[in-house]
Structure 1
Amino acid sequence: MSAKPSRKVAIVTGSGTGVGAATALQLAGRGWNVVINYSRSATEAQASEAACRAAGADTLLLRADVAQDADCRALATTTMERWGRIDALVNNAGVSVFGAAAGWDALDLEAFQRIYSVNTVGSFQMARACVPHLKASRGCIVNVSSIAGVLGIGSSVPYIASKGALNAMTLHLARTLAPEIRVNAVCPGLITSRWFVDGVGQEAADKLAANYERTAPLGRPSTPEDVADAITWLVEGARTTTGELLMLDSGMHMGARPAR
Protein backbone atom coordinates (compact mmCIF):
# COMPACT_ATOMS: atom_id res chain seq x y z
CA MET A 1 0.00 0.00 0.00
CA SER A 2 1.35 3.39 -1.00
CA ALA A 3 1.67 6.28 1.41
CA LYS A 4 -1.46 8.33 1.85
CA PRO A 5 -1.61 11.12 -0.74
CA SER A 6 -2.40 14.68 0.21
CA ARG A 7 -5.36 14.63 -2.18
CA LYS A 8 -8.52 13.06 -0.84
CA VAL A 9 -10.04 10.07 -2.63
CA ALA A 10 -13.62 9.48 -3.74
CA ILE A 11 -15.27 6.42 -5.22
CA VAL A 12 -18.18 7.41 -7.48
CA THR A 13 -20.16 4.43 -8.71
CA GLY A 14 -21.83 4.66 -12.10
CA SER A 15 -19.57 7.56 -13.05
CA GLY A 16 -19.27 6.95 -16.77
CA THR A 17 -22.28 9.12 -17.58
CA GLY A 18 -24.80 11.57 -16.16
CA VAL A 19 -24.77 12.57 -12.52
CA GLY A 20 -21.89 10.24 -11.69
CA ALA A 21 -19.64 11.67 -14.39
CA ALA A 22 -20.54 15.24 -13.41
CA THR A 23 -19.80 14.50 -9.75
CA ALA A 24 -16.45 12.86 -10.48
CA LEU A 25 -15.44 15.83 -12.64
CA GLN A 26 -16.43 18.37 -9.99
CA LEU A 27 -14.47 16.55 -7.31
CA ALA A 28 -11.48 16.18 -9.64
CA GLY A 29 -11.50 19.92 -10.26
CA ARG A 30 -11.60 20.55 -6.52
CA GLY A 31 -8.46 18.57 -5.76
CA TRP A 32 -9.72 15.00 -5.31
CA ASN A 33 -8.50 11.76 -6.81
CA VAL A 34 -11.43 9.76 -8.13
CA VAL A 35 -12.43 6.21 -8.98
CA ILE A 36 -14.46 6.11 -12.20
CA ASN A 37 -16.71 3.06 -12.06
CA TYR A 38 -18.89 1.59 -14.79
CA SER A 39 -20.56 -1.71 -15.61
CA ARG A 40 -21.48 -1.29 -19.29
CA SER A 41 -20.59 2.19 -20.58
CA ALA A 42 -16.88 1.62 -21.20
CA THR A 43 -16.41 4.28 -23.88
CA GLU A 44 -18.22 6.93 -21.85
CA ALA A 45 -16.31 5.96 -18.70
CA GLN A 46 -13.01 6.39 -20.54
CA ALA A 47 -14.12 9.88 -21.58
CA SER A 48 -15.13 10.64 -17.98
CA GLU A 49 -11.72 9.50 -16.76
CA ALA A 50 -9.95 11.62 -19.36
CA ALA A 51 -11.92 14.69 -18.28
CA CYS A 52 -11.03 14.08 -14.63
CA ARG A 53 -7.37 13.70 -15.50
CA ALA A 54 -7.48 16.92 -17.49
CA ALA A 55 -8.92 18.58 -14.37
CA GLY A 56 -5.84 17.49 -12.42
CA ALA A 57 -6.92 14.27 -10.74
CA ASP A 58 -5.19 10.97 -10.47
CA THR A 59 -7.78 8.37 -11.44
CA LEU A 60 -8.69 4.71 -11.44
CA LEU A 61 -11.03 3.33 -14.10
CA LEU A 62 -12.68 0.18 -12.75
CA ARG A 63 -15.40 -1.98 -14.23
CA ALA A 64 -17.63 -3.41 -11.49
CA ASP A 65 -21.27 -4.38 -11.04
CA VAL A 66 -22.31 -3.14 -7.59
CA ALA A 67 -24.95 -5.88 -7.45
CA GLN A 68 -22.04 -8.29 -6.99
CA ASP A 69 -20.52 -8.15 -3.51
CA ALA A 70 -17.14 -9.37 -4.76
CA ASP A 71 -17.02 -6.46 -7.21
CA CYS A 72 -17.79 -4.00 -4.42
CA ARG A 73 -15.04 -5.37 -2.22
CA ALA A 74 -12.62 -5.28 -5.16
CA LEU A 75 -13.44 -1.60 -5.76
CA ALA A 76 -12.55 -0.74 -2.18
CA THR A 77 -9.46 -2.97 -2.11
CA THR A 78 -8.04 -1.66 -5.39
CA THR A 79 -8.62 1.93 -4.28
CA MET A 80 -6.76 1.31 -1.03
CA GLU A 81 -3.91 -0.39 -2.85
CA ARG A 82 -3.57 2.63 -5.12
CA TRP A 83 -3.91 5.50 -2.64
CA GLY A 84 -4.15 4.09 0.86
CA ARG A 85 -7.32 6.01 1.73
CA ILE A 86 -11.00 6.46 0.93
CA ASP A 87 -12.58 9.75 1.98
CA ALA A 88 -15.94 9.67 0.20
CA LEU A 89 -18.27 7.12 -1.34
CA VAL A 90 -20.93 8.35 -3.76
CA ASN A 91 -23.45 5.57 -4.43
CA ASN A 92 -24.72 6.75 -7.79
CA ALA A 93 -25.08 3.52 -9.81
CA GLY A 94 -28.74 2.87 -10.52
CA VAL A 95 -31.12 1.14 -12.90
CA SER A 96 -34.85 1.17 -13.62
CA VAL A 97 -37.54 -0.03 -15.96
CA PHE A 98 -40.11 2.38 -17.30
CA GLY A 99 -43.25 0.55 -16.28
CA ALA A 100 -45.71 3.28 -17.21
CA ALA A 101 -44.75 2.84 -20.85
CA ALA A 102 -44.16 -0.90 -20.83
CA GLY A 103 -47.19 -1.83 -18.75
CA TRP A 104 -47.53 -4.08 -15.73
CA ASP A 105 -46.00 -7.03 -17.54
CA ALA A 106 -42.60 -5.35 -17.28
CA LEU A 107 -42.83 -5.43 -13.48
CA ASP A 108 -41.96 -9.05 -12.82
CA LEU A 109 -39.77 -10.67 -10.19
CA GLU A 110 -36.69 -10.33 -12.36
CA ALA A 111 -37.21 -6.57 -12.70
CA PHE A 112 -37.68 -6.13 -8.95
CA GLN A 113 -34.63 -8.22 -8.12
CA ARG A 114 -32.33 -6.48 -10.60
CA ILE A 115 -33.42 -2.98 -9.58
CA TYR A 116 -33.14 -3.74 -5.87
CA SER A 117 -29.81 -5.52 -6.34
CA VAL A 118 -28.25 -2.40 -7.87
CA ASN A 119 -30.10 0.52 -6.28
CA THR A 120 -30.45 -0.77 -2.72
CA VAL A 121 -28.31 -3.85 -2.10
CA GLY A 122 -25.47 -2.47 -4.22
CA SER A 123 -25.39 0.73 -2.18
CA PHE A 124 -25.27 -1.30 1.03
CA GLN A 125 -22.52 -3.57 -0.28
CA MET A 126 -20.42 -0.58 -1.32
CA ALA A 127 -20.92 1.03 2.08
CA ARG A 128 -19.94 -2.17 3.87
CA ALA A 129 -16.79 -2.50 1.77
CA CYS A 130 -15.74 1.11 2.39
CA VAL A 131 -16.82 1.74 5.99
CA PRO A 132 -13.55 0.66 7.69
CA HIS A 133 -11.59 3.06 5.48
CA LEU A 134 -14.14 5.87 5.75
CA LYS A 135 -14.00 5.58 9.53
CA ALA A 136 -10.24 6.01 9.40
CA SER A 137 -10.58 9.18 7.31
CA ARG A 138 -13.75 10.43 9.06
CA GLY A 139 -15.28 10.53 5.63
CA CYS A 140 -18.78 10.45 4.20
CA ILE A 141 -21.30 8.56 2.09
CA VAL A 142 -23.73 10.22 -0.29
CA ASN A 143 -26.49 8.05 -1.74
CA VAL A 144 -28.07 9.20 -4.98
CA SER A 145 -31.74 8.51 -4.41
CA SER A 146 -34.83 10.14 -5.94
CA ILE A 147 -38.00 11.95 -5.05
CA ALA A 148 -39.57 8.66 -6.20
CA GLY A 149 -38.66 7.22 -2.81
CA VAL A 150 -40.24 10.15 -0.96
CA LEU A 151 -43.36 10.91 -2.99
CA GLY A 152 -44.11 7.48 -4.47
CA ILE A 153 -43.88 8.70 -8.06
CA GLY A 154 -41.40 7.65 -10.70
CA SER A 155 -40.54 5.43 -13.62
CA SER A 156 -41.85 2.18 -12.14
CA VAL A 157 -42.99 0.51 -8.92
CA PRO A 158 -39.70 -1.41 -8.43
CA TYR A 159 -37.70 1.81 -8.86
CA ILE A 160 -39.92 3.73 -6.42
CA ALA A 161 -39.66 0.95 -3.85
CA SER A 162 -35.89 0.63 -4.24
CA LYS A 163 -35.36 4.35 -3.64
CA GLY A 164 -37.69 4.34 -0.63
CA ALA A 165 -35.60 1.52 0.82
CA LEU A 166 -32.41 3.45 0.02
CA ASN A 167 -33.74 6.47 1.90
CA ALA A 168 -34.55 4.35 4.96
CA MET A 169 -31.10 2.78 4.80
CA THR A 170 -29.53 6.24 4.60
CA LEU A 171 -31.17 7.19 7.91
CA HIS A 172 -30.11 3.94 9.55
CA LEU A 173 -26.49 4.24 8.42
CA ALA A 174 -26.36 7.90 9.48
CA ARG A 175 -27.24 6.83 13.02
CA THR A 176 -25.08 3.74 13.24
CA LEU A 177 -21.95 5.14 11.58
CA ALA A 178 -21.87 8.41 13.53
CA PRO A 179 -19.78 10.18 14.61
CA GLU A 180 -17.00 9.00 12.28
CA ILE A 181 -18.97 8.94 9.02
CA ARG A 182 -21.63 11.32 7.74
CA VAL A 183 -24.32 9.68 5.57
CA ASN A 184 -26.77 11.67 3.44
CA ALA A 185 -28.82 11.26 0.29
CA VAL A 186 -29.81 13.52 -2.57
CA CYS A 187 -33.31 13.05 -3.99
CA PRO A 188 -33.51 14.60 -7.46
CA GLY A 189 -36.69 15.08 -9.41
CA LEU A 190 -36.56 15.24 -13.19
CA ILE A 191 -33.00 15.29 -14.54
CA THR A 192 -32.32 16.21 -18.16
CA SER A 193 -29.96 13.35 -18.91
CA ARG A 194 -29.46 10.70 -21.57
CA TRP A 195 -30.64 8.03 -19.12
CA PHE A 196 -34.09 9.60 -18.97
CA VAL A 197 -34.34 10.14 -22.72
CA ASP A 198 -33.28 6.55 -23.35
CA GLY A 199 -35.98 5.35 -20.96
CA VAL A 200 -39.03 7.24 -22.26
CA GLY A 201 -37.98 8.48 -25.69
CA GLN A 202 -37.14 11.99 -26.85
CA GLU A 203 -40.73 13.13 -27.48
CA ALA A 204 -41.98 12.06 -24.06
CA ALA A 205 -38.89 13.50 -22.38
CA ASP A 206 -39.45 16.86 -24.06
CA LYS A 207 -43.10 16.92 -22.95
CA LEU A 208 -42.22 16.06 -19.35
CA ALA A 209 -39.49 18.71 -19.25
CA ALA A 210 -41.88 21.32 -20.65
CA ASN A 211 -44.48 20.42 -18.02
CA TYR A 212 -41.84 20.73 -15.30
CA GLU A 213 -40.95 24.18 -16.56
CA ARG A 214 -44.62 25.21 -16.44
CA THR A 215 -45.48 23.80 -13.05
CA ALA A 216 -42.40 23.44 -10.81
CA PRO A 217 -42.02 26.32 -8.34
CA LEU A 218 -38.52 27.06 -9.67
CA GLY A 219 -39.55 26.37 -13.25
CA ARG A 220 -36.75 24.05 -14.33
CA PRO A 221 -35.67 20.42 -14.15
CA SER A 222 -32.20 19.59 -12.86
CA THR A 223 -29.10 18.99 -14.95
CA PRO A 224 -26.53 16.39 -13.90
CA GLU A 225 -24.31 19.30 -12.86
CA ASP A 226 -27.03 20.66 -10.54
CA VAL A 227 -27.16 17.33 -8.72
CA ALA A 228 -23.37 17.12 -8.66
CA ASP A 229 -23.28 20.56 -7.00
CA ALA A 230 -25.36 19.25 -4.11
CA ILE A 231 -23.36 16.04 -3.81
CA THR A 232 -20.10 17.98 -3.76
CA TRP A 233 -21.42 20.21 -0.97
CA LEU A 234 -22.43 17.16 1.08
CA VAL A 235 -18.98 15.65 0.50
CA GLU A 236 -16.82 18.70 1.13
CA GLY A 237 -18.92 20.85 3.43
CA ALA A 238 -22.02 20.03 5.46
CA ARG A 239 -19.91 19.22 8.51
CA THR A 240 -22.96 19.10 10.80
CA THR A 241 -25.28 17.41 8.29
CA THR A 242 -26.08 13.71 8.47
CA GLY A 243 -29.23 11.70 7.89
CA GLU A 244 -30.49 14.28 5.41
CA LEU A 245 -32.66 13.43 2.38
CA LEU A 246 -32.00 16.51 0.28
CA MET A 247 -34.80 17.22 -2.20
CA LEU A 248 -33.53 18.51 -5.56
CA ASP A 249 -36.78 18.85 -7.50
CA SER A 250 -37.23 22.60 -8.02
CA GLY A 251 -39.81 22.52 -5.24
CA MET A 252 -42.19 20.01 -6.89
CA HIS A 253 -42.58 18.14 -3.59
CA MET A 254 -44.58 21.18 -2.41
CA GLY A 255 -46.96 20.92 -5.34
CA ALA A 256 -47.32 22.91 -8.53
CA ARG A 257 -46.80 26.66 -8.33
CA PRO A 258 -49.99 28.75 -8.30
CA ALA A 259 -51.25 30.02 -11.63
CA ARG A 260 -50.70 33.72 -12.22
Structure 2
Amino acid sequence: MTMERKVALITGGGTGVGAATALLLARRGYNLLVNYSRSAEEAEASATACREAGADVWVMRGDVSQDADCRALAQAVIDRWGRLDALVNNAGVSVFGMAAEWDALDAETFQHILGVNALGSFQMVRACVAHLKAAQGCIVNVSSVAGALGVGSSMPYIASKGAVNAMTLHLARALAPAVRVNAVCPGLITTRWFVQGVGQEGYEKGLKAYEAGVPLQRACSPEDVAEAIAWLVDGARTVTGELLLLDSGMHLAGVQPPR
Protein backbone atom coordinates (compact mmCIF):
# COMPACT_ATOMS: atom_id res chain seq x y z
CA MET A 1 0.00 0.00 0.00
CA THR A 2 1.42 3.37 -0.99
CA MET A 3 1.48 5.96 1.77
CA GLU A 4 -0.45 9.10 0.92
CA ARG A 5 1.89 11.98 0.18
CA LYS A 6 1.74 15.05 2.38
CA VAL A 7 0.98 18.44 0.83
CA ALA A 8 2.73 21.81 1.10
CA LEU A 9 1.71 25.23 -0.18
CA ILE A 10 4.65 27.52 -0.95
CA THR A 11 4.08 31.18 -1.76
CA GLY A 12 6.68 32.77 -4.01
CA GLY A 13 7.69 29.26 -5.04
CA GLY A 14 8.96 30.02 -8.52
CA THR A 15 12.41 31.39 -7.73
CA GLY A 16 15.16 31.48 -5.13
CA VAL A 17 14.35 30.11 -1.68
CA GLY A 18 10.82 29.15 -2.69
CA ALA A 19 11.94 27.05 -5.64
CA ALA A 20 14.73 25.40 -3.63
CA THR A 21 12.26 24.58 -0.85
CA ALA A 22 9.70 23.16 -3.28
CA LEU A 23 12.29 20.85 -4.81
CA LEU A 24 13.58 19.65 -1.46
CA LEU A 25 10.07 18.92 -0.15
CA ALA A 26 9.22 17.13 -3.40
CA ARG A 27 12.21 14.88 -2.85
CA ARG A 28 10.96 14.24 0.68
CA GLY A 29 7.60 13.01 -0.52
CA TYR A 30 5.40 16.11 -0.62
CA ASN A 31 2.92 17.18 -3.26
CA LEU A 32 3.03 20.92 -3.83
CA LEU A 33 1.12 24.00 -4.78
CA VAL A 34 3.71 26.43 -6.15
CA ASN A 35 2.42 29.98 -6.03
CA TYR A 36 3.83 32.92 -7.95
CA SER A 37 2.77 36.50 -8.63
CA ARG A 38 4.96 37.54 -11.58
CA SER A 39 7.46 34.76 -12.37
CA ALA A 40 5.23 32.41 -14.39
CA GLU A 41 7.99 30.88 -16.50
CA GLU A 42 10.21 30.28 -13.47
CA ALA A 43 7.31 28.80 -11.50
CA GLU A 44 6.65 26.31 -14.29
CA ALA A 45 10.34 25.38 -14.33
CA SER A 46 10.22 24.89 -10.55
CA ALA A 47 7.15 22.68 -10.95
CA THR A 48 8.82 20.60 -13.66
CA ALA A 49 11.80 19.91 -11.40
CA CYS A 50 9.46 18.90 -8.58
CA ARG A 51 7.49 16.56 -10.86
CA GLU A 52 10.73 14.92 -11.93
CA ALA A 53 11.36 14.33 -8.21
CA GLY A 54 8.05 12.47 -7.94
CA ALA A 55 5.63 15.15 -6.77
CA ASP A 56 2.21 16.08 -8.04
CA VAL A 57 2.44 19.85 -8.52
CA TRP A 58 -0.08 22.60 -9.18
CA VAL A 59 1.17 26.05 -10.25
CA MET A 60 -1.09 28.97 -9.41
CA ARG A 61 -0.79 32.71 -9.69
CA GLY A 62 -1.86 34.78 -6.70
CA ASP A 63 -1.04 38.04 -4.94
CA VAL A 64 -0.88 37.30 -1.22
CA SER A 65 -1.66 40.92 -0.37
CA GLN A 66 -5.16 40.17 -1.70
CA ASP A 67 -7.26 38.09 0.69
CA ALA A 68 -9.36 36.59 -2.10
CA ASP A 69 -6.20 35.24 -3.75
CA CYS A 70 -5.05 33.69 -0.46
CA ARG A 71 -8.37 31.94 0.02
CA ALA A 72 -8.29 30.71 -3.58
CA LEU A 73 -4.83 29.21 -3.09
CA ALA A 74 -5.95 27.36 0.05
CA GLN A 75 -9.09 26.10 -1.65
CA ALA A 76 -7.13 24.89 -4.67
CA VAL A 77 -5.00 22.71 -2.40
CA ILE A 78 -8.04 21.14 -0.77
CA ASP A 79 -9.84 20.65 -4.08
CA ARG A 80 -6.84 18.82 -5.55
CA TRP A 81 -5.50 16.82 -2.59
CA GLY A 82 -8.00 17.13 0.24
CA ARG A 83 -5.37 18.03 2.81
CA LEU A 84 -2.71 20.60 3.71
CA ASP A 85 0.22 19.71 5.92
CA ALA A 86 2.56 22.68 5.55
CA LEU A 87 2.33 26.36 4.65
CA VAL A 88 5.57 28.12 3.71
CA ASN A 89 5.06 31.88 3.62
CA ASN A 90 7.92 32.82 1.32
CA ALA A 91 6.48 35.57 -0.91
CA GLY A 92 8.20 38.88 -0.23
CA VAL A 93 9.11 42.25 -1.69
CA SER A 94 11.36 45.15 -0.78
CA VAL A 95 12.99 48.32 -2.01
CA PHE A 96 16.61 49.16 -1.49
CA GLY A 97 17.21 52.46 0.23
CA MET A 98 19.58 53.69 2.94
CA ALA A 99 18.69 56.00 5.78
CA ALA A 100 19.66 59.05 3.78
CA GLU A 101 16.95 58.17 1.25
CA TRP A 102 14.03 57.90 3.67
CA ASP A 103 12.29 60.87 2.05
CA ALA A 104 12.04 58.84 -1.16
CA LEU A 105 9.84 56.23 0.56
CA ASP A 106 6.23 57.19 0.08
CA ALA A 107 3.28 55.71 1.96
CA GLU A 108 2.17 53.64 -1.03
CA THR A 109 5.54 51.86 -1.22
CA PHE A 110 5.60 51.28 2.53
CA GLN A 111 2.07 49.88 2.51
CA HIS A 112 2.77 47.63 -0.46
CA ILE A 113 5.74 46.02 1.28
CA LEU A 114 3.78 45.56 4.49
CA GLY A 115 0.86 44.25 2.44
CA VAL A 116 2.86 41.46 0.83
CA ASN A 117 5.31 40.56 3.59
CA ALA A 118 3.24 40.95 6.75
CA LEU A 119 -0.44 41.13 5.82
CA GLY A 120 0.07 38.52 3.12
CA SER A 121 1.55 36.07 5.60
CA PHE A 122 -1.35 36.64 7.99
CA GLN A 123 -3.95 36.23 5.25
CA MET A 124 -2.37 32.98 4.09
CA VAL A 125 -2.43 31.64 7.64
CA ARG A 126 -6.06 32.64 8.04
CA ALA A 127 -7.00 30.94 4.78
CA CYS A 128 -5.14 27.73 5.63
CA VAL A 129 -5.44 27.35 9.39
CA ALA A 130 -8.45 25.04 9.53
CA HIS A 131 -6.82 22.62 7.08
CA LEU A 132 -3.48 22.78 8.90
CA LYS A 133 -5.20 22.00 12.20
CA ALA A 134 -6.93 19.01 10.66
CA ALA A 135 -3.56 17.66 9.48
CA GLN A 136 -1.64 18.58 12.68
CA GLY A 137 0.55 20.53 10.31
CA CYS A 138 2.97 23.42 10.44
CA ILE A 139 3.73 26.93 9.22
CA VAL A 140 7.16 28.28 8.31
CA ASN A 141 7.44 32.02 7.73
CA VAL A 142 10.41 33.16 5.67
CA SER A 143 11.48 36.25 7.55
CA SER A 144 14.90 37.92 7.75
CA VAL A 145 17.58 39.11 10.12
CA ALA A 146 16.10 42.50 9.22
CA GLY A 147 13.21 41.74 11.57
CA ALA A 148 15.44 40.37 14.31
CA LEU A 149 18.30 42.89 14.24
CA GLY A 150 16.69 46.00 12.75
CA VAL A 151 18.98 46.17 9.72
CA GLY A 152 18.18 45.50 6.09
CA SER A 153 17.41 46.74 2.61
CA SER A 154 14.95 49.45 3.68
CA MET A 155 12.85 50.72 6.56
CA PRO A 156 9.55 49.21 5.31
CA TYR A 157 11.25 45.86 4.78
CA ILE A 158 12.66 45.91 8.32
CA ALA A 159 9.24 46.83 9.72
CA SER A 160 7.49 44.12 7.72
CA LYS A 161 9.85 41.37 8.84
CA GLY A 162 9.64 42.56 12.44
CA ALA A 163 5.87 42.11 12.11
CA VAL A 164 6.34 38.62 10.67
CA ASN A 165 8.53 37.66 13.62
CA ALA A 166 6.03 38.98 16.14
CA MET A 167 3.19 37.14 14.38
CA THR A 168 5.24 33.96 14.41
CA LEU A 169 5.54 34.10 18.19
CA HIS A 170 1.87 34.92 18.66
CA LEU A 171 0.66 32.22 16.28
CA ALA A 172 2.92 29.60 17.85
CA ARG A 173 1.05 30.16 21.11
CA ALA A 174 -2.39 30.58 19.59
CA LEU A 175 -2.29 27.51 17.33
CA ALA A 176 -0.57 25.08 19.69
CA PRO A 177 -0.74 22.15 20.09
CA ALA A 178 -2.35 21.50 16.70
CA VAL A 179 0.00 23.56 14.48
CA ARG A 180 3.67 24.35 14.89
CA VAL A 181 4.72 27.85 13.76
CA ASN A 182 8.32 28.91 13.16
CA ALA A 183 10.30 31.40 11.10
CA VAL A 184 13.66 31.35 9.37
CA CYS A 185 15.62 34.60 9.40
CA PRO A 186 18.37 34.54 6.76
CA GLY A 187 21.06 37.12 6.33
CA LEU A 188 22.34 37.79 2.82
CA ILE A 189 21.09 35.17 0.34
CA THR A 190 22.84 34.61 -2.99
CA THR A 191 19.79 35.02 -5.21
CA ARG A 192 18.92 37.26 -8.14
CA TRP A 193 16.62 39.25 -5.81
CA PHE A 194 19.61 41.04 -4.28
CA VAL A 195 21.29 41.49 -7.64
CA GLN A 196 18.13 43.10 -9.01
CA GLY A 197 17.98 45.40 -5.98
CA VAL A 198 21.52 46.79 -6.05
CA GLY A 199 22.95 45.75 -9.43
CA GLN A 200 25.69 43.23 -10.19
CA GLU A 201 28.53 45.49 -9.03
CA GLY A 202 26.72 46.37 -5.81
CA TYR A 203 25.92 42.72 -5.21
CA GLU A 204 29.52 41.60 -5.63
CA LYS A 205 30.78 44.38 -3.38
CA GLY A 206 28.13 43.66 -0.76
CA LEU A 207 28.71 39.91 -0.83
CA LYS A 208 32.44 40.38 -0.35
CA ALA A 209 31.89 42.74 2.58
CA TYR A 210 29.32 40.45 4.16
CA GLU A 211 31.48 37.35 3.95
CA ALA A 212 34.44 39.24 5.33
CA GLY A 213 32.42 40.47 8.29
CA VAL A 214 30.50 37.45 9.55
CA PRO A 215 32.08 34.68 11.65
CA LEU A 216 31.38 31.85 9.19
CA GLN A 217 32.56 33.96 6.24
CA ARG A 218 29.80 32.85 3.89
CA ALA A 219 26.37 33.97 2.77
CA CYS A 220 23.30 31.74 2.53
CA SER A 221 22.45 29.95 -0.67
CA PRO A 222 18.78 29.28 -1.43
CA GLU A 223 19.50 25.62 -0.68
CA ASP A 224 20.85 26.52 2.78
CA VAL A 225 17.58 28.23 3.63
CA ALA A 226 15.54 25.43 2.08
CA GLU A 227 17.27 22.86 4.26
CA ALA A 228 16.30 24.78 7.38
CA ILE A 229 12.71 25.16 6.18
CA ALA A 230 12.46 21.47 5.32
CA TRP A 231 13.72 20.52 8.77
CA LEU A 232 11.12 22.73 10.42
CA VAL A 233 8.42 21.25 8.16
CA ASP A 234 9.37 17.60 8.18
CA GLY A 235 11.16 17.22 11.49
CA ALA A 236 11.51 19.48 14.52
CA ARG A 237 8.50 17.90 16.20
CA THR A 238 9.14 19.76 19.46
CA VAL A 239 10.03 23.13 17.91
CA THR A 240 7.55 26.00 17.76
CA GLY A 241 7.85 29.76 18.17
CA GLU A 242 11.44 29.69 16.92
CA LEU A 243 13.03 32.56 14.98
CA LEU A 244 15.92 30.66 13.42
CA LEU A 245 18.79 32.96 12.47
CA LEU A 246 20.54 31.79 9.30
CA ASP A 247 23.06 34.61 9.22
CA SER A 248 26.48 32.93 9.48
CA GLY A 249 26.82 34.49 12.93
CA MET A 250 26.16 38.07 11.87
CA HIS A 251 24.23 38.64 15.10
CA LEU A 252 27.39 37.75 17.02
CA ALA A 253 29.65 40.06 15.05
CA GLY A 254 27.36 43.08 15.04
CA VAL A 255 27.80 43.45 11.27
CA GLN A 256 25.11 45.12 9.20
CA PRO A 257 24.21 43.45 5.92
CA PRO A 258 25.08 45.51 2.82
CA ARG A 259 22.37 47.86 1.53
Tell me the SS of whatever aligns to 1:201.
Answer: helix
Calculate the aligned-residue CA RMSD, in Å.
1.3
Distance 1:216 1:113 in 2: 32
Tell me the SS of whatever aligns to 1:103.
Answer: helix
Distance 1:52 1:248 in 2: 25
**1:54 match:** 52
Instruction: Give 2:216's match in structure 1, choosing from 212, 218, 240.
Output: 218
Distance 1:106 1:38 in 2: 28
1:191-222 Cα deviation digits (max 9, x unpaired): 01000100011111111111122121111000
Instruction: Give 1:110's match in structure 2, choosing from 98, 108, 111.
Output: 108
Alignment of 1:133 onto 2:92: no
Instruction: Give 2:65's match in structure 1, choosing from 67, 89, 92.
Output: 67
Instruction: Give 2:80's match in structure 1, choosing from 78, 82, 85.
Output: 82
- The two structures have a TM-score, normalised by structure 1, of 0.95
Q: CA deviation at 1:256?
A: 5.7
8 A contact 1:97–1:106 mirrored in 2:
no
**1:15 match:** 13
Instruction: Give 1:239's match in structure 2, choosing from 214, 231, 237.
Output: 237
After TM superposition, what 4+ stretches of structure 1 lie above 2 angstroms from structure 2? 100-106
Tell me the SS of whatever aligns to 2:98.
Answer: helix
Q: 1:50 to 1:102 in 2, by over 3 A?
A: farther
Q: 2:128 is matched by which residue type in structure 1?
A: C
8 A contact 1:10–1:86 mirrored in 2:
yes
Distance 2:227 2:58 in 1: 22
Distance 2:67 2:254 in 1: 41
Tell me the SS of whatever aligns to 2:236.
Answer: coil
Tell me the SS of whatever aligns to 2:34.
Answer: strand
Q: 1:74 to 1:203 in 2, by over 3 A?
A: same
Aligned residues: 253
Distance 1:148 1:20 in 2: 19
Q: 1:51 is matched by which residue type in structure 2?
A: A
Q: CA deviation at 1:100?
A: 2.2
Q: 2:26 is matched by which residue type in structure 1?
A: A
Distance 1:158 1:212 in 2: 22
Distance 2:100 2:57 in 1: 39
Q: 2:114 is matched by which residue type in structure 1?
A: Y
Q: CA deviation at 1:150?
A: 0.8
**1:194 match:** 192
Q: 2:212 is matched by which residue type in structure 1?
A: R
Distance 2:235 2:211 in 1: 30
**1:153 match:** 151
Q: CA deviation at 1:103?
A: 2.3
**1:122 match:** 120
